[in-house]
Amino acid sequence: MGRKLDPTKKEKRGPGRKARKQKGAETELARFLPAVSDENSKRLSSRARKRAAKRRLGSAEAPKTNKSPEAKPLPGKLPKGIFAGAVQTVGKKGPQSLFNAAQGKKRPAPSSDEEEEEEDSEEDDVVNHGDLWGSEDDADMVDDYGADSNSEDEEEGEELLPIERAAQKQKVREAAAGVQWSEEETEDEEEVTPESGPSKEEEADGGLQINVDEEPFVLPPAGEMEQDAQTPDLQRVHKRIQDIVGILRDFGAQREEGRSRSEYLNRLKKDLATYYSYGDFLLGKLMDLFPLSELVEFLEANEVPRPITLRTNTLKTRRRDVAQALINRGVNLDPLGKWSKTGLVVYDSSVPIGATPEYLAGHYMLQGASSMLPVMALAPQEHERILDMCCAPGGKTSYMAQLMKNTGVILANDANAERLKSVVGNLHRLGVTNTVISHYDGRQFPKVVGGFDRVLLDAPCSGTGVISKDPAVKTNKDEKDILRCAHLQKELLLSAIDSVNATSKTGGYLVYCTCSIMVEENEWVVDYALKKRNVRLVPTGLDFGQEGFTRFRERRFHPSLHNARRFYPHTHNMDGFFIAKFKKFSNSVPQSQTGNSETATPTNVDLPQVIPKSENSSQPAKKAKGAAKTKQQLQKQQRPKKASFQKPNGTSKGADSELSTIPSVRKTQASSRFQDSSQPAGKAEGIRESKVTGKLKQRSPKLQSSKKVAFLKQNAPPKGTDTETPAVLSPSKTQATLKPKDHHHPLGRAKGVEKQQLPEQPFKKAAFQNQNDTPKGPQPPTVSPISSSHPPPAKRKKSQSRGNGQLLLS
């Protein structure tokens, strides 16, 4: 039900038993309050009038509870006192405020020094008013409220019902508390009162009932928070939300003195949680994620379902034919947007959209707009091998198949057998023939079958982006759920990356997407994958949507995260979504820092092996595997370099200033040249390694390994091309036995080669030397078995200048 429908507050009407039940003291009292508002109300019965007269006469005696003799100017003082009480304890006492509000009199501007007086007079007035109530009760009610005659006799001049006596006592208590409160925050009072003064006078002019809302918003004291929890009045809560958002927007000007921003925020958080029925954890996360104005919009958007959208099945029909057929059936629809050629949005329909003969014939599929985006980002080509790791219910799979025109192969996998049935049904209905459907846990993937051109991973997530579809997410998600999801997503993403074939001619891409907006499940997982595997983020190809975060609170992510895209229900009117597109540039798997053995051999000789190692000493072992011609020759040069090589570990900051920018540059270059000659690969690697290690040094140690790997990979291709030119260098020459030092000083190696073979690369050597000075931690990649010829100086220079040129040449 809507949030405004609160069954506990629904008033029972009618002749039934429940309508006759008493509703509680507050509501019962309210029946009498309006009568009290008019002193001269004619509702007083004759007896009541007599008693009132008696009271007026006897008021001089003053009831014992009065602290001051001030009881005469009843009408005048009464509102003052009452409203002083109201101002002081606004919101504190529900019934009291009702009582006070019902007075409808002009509110004076109480000052703090008058508090005592007013409280006293207030009590006094209550007592006197109690008389009125008592008379009222005598007249109107017979039961429950006891024998008023008794009370009359007991208290001279006072005719308090038992409940009124209790209320009076409560007033005393609260006045006492209010005194304390106001003592602590007298400043508040003073600040508030001048503002409230003019407004109250205006009100008085109108003679209308003063709303509690009219006064400037005063943040209720902490004590009230708990009280409100028991009696949430949604209207008030909503109003308070708006007030607090308004105040926080202009906090400097509108704040109350002495109340901190966090107090306001806490109050807002509780109110939002109450109003929109969220759990505290999720609301806290949302408050971290969105600025306040957006937060309210987001919460509002989650209450409303997104429009129904469908995607035309181009295997069987065209969009305009589907649109025409549906319009003929009485459906009101429109094309989805210029970003989609097959989407239609349905405004309303007189027939069930999911059961028309066109639907059953497979002409279209009901699919959310945001679910079409990952497939557009992935852009599967014809005759490719695609893996869809979490395919249920099959919307994205069928979209991929229609983009591929039923060519190639799609392996549609899902871990949930129940949902797989819908996949089978949907794919058959839509006429998809190039699919194999399997039932594996996605994490088993490259083991079962790998080497796909593209992979789509629509990971299972917490569903915080689709709250409008499943409101249970508001309350049943907490920290553990999010972390568990994130853990699973990381595992799946690593498996997906391993299933991609980086050397695919047309592919090598992976799209990771979730229907969640939590940073833990999105940017964090992507960042983790960037560190752990040889992948990089590329633009998704979607020109709308918010960019992914490169930093969030205390976390810092890789700068390329801005290529990822986020979608929100309140800005894009589609389900919350996150899409990131990876390109895998190497099939080898980087070892962790502690590993010191070579990883799997590259599947393609063009790929240099990247095996970052923690100690330099282990480098030789790796190098032994790869190209050696350069190493042999460089050996001589390496010795002098060693000393310098080992020195700066952990200390150099020099050439690494471009570290952050270089990655992207390198990466793009690398990709462009990736498929280049095989020859230079080995040699290029060595040189690259040194460069990379130098560059990487400046970055945080944790990132260094991954980045080094990345860099190393990137540099390979440029170097690769370089090595083509020198005819002098041939792989065969350099395949002498590798020496430990070779690996250690790739730069030296390069230099050695240069010296011996190509005298034209001294500057490059210098550059490499610099790089060599700064390697650290992760090992440079081993040179591939197909050793490369020495890169020509010209090209190497280019590659240097691309990245860290001048720095290296320093």
Q: How far apart are CA 512 and CA 582, in angstroms?
A: 8
CA 682 – CA 783 distance, rounded (Å): 4
176 annotated to bind ligand: no
Nearer to other proteins, 312 or 679 (CB): 312
573 lines the binding site for other proteins (CB under 8 A): no
* Contacting residue, 292, 325, 605, 736, with other proteins by CB under 8 A: 325
Phi and psi dihedrals of 220, rounded to 5? Answer: -65, 145
What does the alpha-carbon distance between residue 102 and residue 96 come to, in Å, rounded to a whole number? Answer: 10
Closer CB to other proteins, residue 68 or residue 444? Answer: 444
C-alpha 96/C-alpha 88 separation (Å) is 12
Amino acid at site 158: E
Give the shortest CB-427-to-other proteins separation in angstroms.
8
Catalytic residue, chosen from 461, 485, 513, 515, is: 515
Task: Report the C-alpha gap between 48 and 459 in whole angstroms.
Answer: 75
Q: Is 412 left (phi over 0), alpha (psi -120 to 50) or beta?
A: beta
- Of residues 392 and 511, the one with the C-beta less far from other proteins: 392
- Site map (CB under 8 A) of other proteins, residues 431-460, x = contact: x-xxxxxxxx-------xx-----------
Measured from the CB of residue 421, what is the shortest distance to other proteins in angstroms?
6
Residue 752 counted as an annotated binding residue: no
Question: 413 forms bridges with which residues in the sheet?
Answer: 438
* Rounded least distance, CB 413 to other proteins, Å: 9
Q: Which residue, 327 or 424, is less far from other proteins as judged by CB?
A: 424
Q: Is 157 annotated as a binding residue?
A: no
Contact letters for other proteins, residues 375-414 (x by CB under 8 A): ----------x-----------------------x-x---
Does 354 bind other proteins (CB under 8 A)? Our answer is yes
Neighbouring-strand partners of residue 580: 512
Closest CA to 247 of 287, 289, 216, 290: 216
CB-nearer residue toward other proteins: 394 or 694: 394
Q: Is 660 in the site for other proteins (CB under 8 A)?
A: no
User: Residue 596 has which token pair?
Assistant: 């010191």
**Applying CB under 8 A, which part among 5-13, 118-126, 181-189, 430-438 lies near other proteins?**
430-438
Distance of CA 166 to the CA centre of its chain: 49
Listed in sequence order, the DSSP H helices in 436-549 are: 445-448, 473-476, 479-499, 523-532
Residues constituting the chain: 810
The residue (of 204 and 361) whose beta carbon lies closer to other proteins is 361
Rule CB under 8 A: is residue 425 a binding residue for other proteins?
yes
Nearest approach, Cβ of 510 to other proteins (angstroms)? 18
Nearer to other proteins, 65 or 603 (CB): 603
Can you tell me the distance from the alpha carbon of 235 to that of 174, in angstroms, rounded to the nearest whole number?
25
Report the alpha-carbon distance of residue 493 to residue 529 in Å, rounded. 7
* Smallest gap from residue 585 Cβ to other proteins (A): 25
According to the annotation, is 805 in a ligand binding site? no
Least spacing, CB of residue 395 vs other proteins, in Å? 15
Residue number, 163 or 420, with CB nearest to other proteins:
420
Q: Which neighbouring-strand residues pair with 552?
A: 555
Query: Whole-angstrom Cα distance, residue 617 to residue 740?
Result: 8
Q: How many residues of this chain bind other proteins (CB under 8 A)?
A: 32
Q: Torsion angle, CA of 92/95/99/102, rounded to 10 degrees?
A: 90
Cα–Cα separations (whole angstroms), residue 163 to 64, 91, 130, 147, 489:
18, 20, 10, 12, 60
Is 809 among the residues that bind other proteins (CB under 8 A)? Answer: no
Q: How far is the CB of 430 from other proteins (least distance, A)?
A: 10
Expressed in percent and rounded to 5, the helix, strand and coil fractions of the chain are 55, 10, 40
Phi and psi at residue 62, in whole multiples of 5°?
A: 70, 125
**How many of the other CB atoms lie within 10 Å of CB of 21?**
9
Measured at the CA of 299, the angle between CA 295 and CA 302, to 5 degrees, comes to 140
Instruction: Retrieve residue 443's tokens.
Output: 């994490």
Place of tokens 């305009």: 320
Residue of 586, 570, 781 whose CA lies nearest to 696:
781
Token couple for 384: 């490719």
Among positions 361, 379, 542, 809, the unique one binding other proteins when judged by CB under 8 A = 361
- Rounded-to-integer distance, Cα 723 and Cα 717, Å: 10
Query: For residue 46, how many other CB atoms are within 10 A of its CB?
Result: 8
Q: Which is nearer to other proteins, 429 or 667 (CB)?
A: 429
> Is 515 considered catalytic here?
yes
421 binds other proteins (CB under 8 A): yes
Dihedrals phi, psi of 347, to nearest 5 degrees: -85, -50
- CB of 409: closest distance to other proteins in angstroms? 5
Query: Least Å distance between CB 435 and other proteins?
Result: 7
- Give burial (CB, 10 Å; 0-12/13-18/19+) of 298: buried
138 is in an annotated binding site: no
- Are the C-beta atoms of residues 126 and 86 closer than 8 Å to each other? no
Determine if 330 is a binding residue for other proteins (CB under 8 A). no
Nearer Cβ to other proteins (241/386): 386
Closest approach of other proteins to the CB of residue 494, in Å = 20
CB nearer to other proteins: pick between 92 and 385:
385
User: How many beta carbons lie within 10 A of that of residue 421, not counting itself?
Assistant: 13
Nearest to 458 by CA among 466, 468, 450: 466
DSSP string for residues in 42-70: TT--HHHHHHHHHHHHHTTT--TT-SSS-
Q: Give the binding range for other proteins (CB under 8 A) out of 3-11, 425-433, 777-785, 792-800.
A: 425-433
Residue 646 backbone dihedrals phi, psi, to 5 degrees: -85, -20
Q: CA 641, CA 744: separation in Å to the nearest integer?
A: 9
427, 456, 488, 496: which one binds other proteins (CB under 8 A): 427
Is 461 assigned to a binding site? no
Cα angle vertex 346, ends 343, 352, to 5°? 115
* 453 is an annotated ligand-binding site residue: no
Closer of 75 and 354 to other proteins (Cβ): 354
Q: Is 273 annotated as a binding residue?
A: no
Q: Which residue stretch of 91-99, 254-262, 415-423, 792-800 sits at the interface with other proteins (rule: CB under 8 A)?
A: 415-423
Q: Is 441 annotated as a binding residue?
A: yes
Cβ at position 328, least distance to other proteins in Å: 9
Q: Which stretch binds other proteins (CB under 8 A): 86-94, 422-430, 615-623, 644-652?
A: 422-430
Piece of the chain touching other proteins by CB under 8 A; list 63-71, 284-292, 360-368, 560-568: 360-368
Residues pairing with 346 in the sheet: 308, 333
- For the CB of residue 302, give the shortest distance to other proteins in the complex, in Å: 29
Give catalytic residue positions.
Answer: 515
Interface contacts to other proteins, rule CB under 8 A = 325, 354-355, 357-358, 360-363, 385, 409, 411, 420-425, 427-429, 431, 433-440, 448-449
The annotated binding site for S-adenosyl-L-methionine is made up of: 390-396, 414, 441, 458
The annotated binding site is made up of: 390-396, 414, 441, 458
